[in-house]
Amino acid sequence: MAMAAAESPGTPAGPTRASVAESIAVEASRLARMAKLNDFQLLAYLIDMAVLEAWREAGEGGSEPGFTAES
Domain boundaries, the chain: 15-58
Q: What is the pLDDT of residue 33?
A: 98
Separation CA 26–CA 37 (nearest Å) = 17
Phi and psi of 3, rounded to 5°?
Answer: -80, 145
- Total Cβ atoms within 10 A of residue 63: 14
pLDDT of res. 51: 97
Per-residue pLDDT of the chain (71 residues; tens, 9 = 90+): 444 445 555 657 889 999 999 999 999 999 999 999 999 999 999 999 999 999 999 995 444 554 444 44
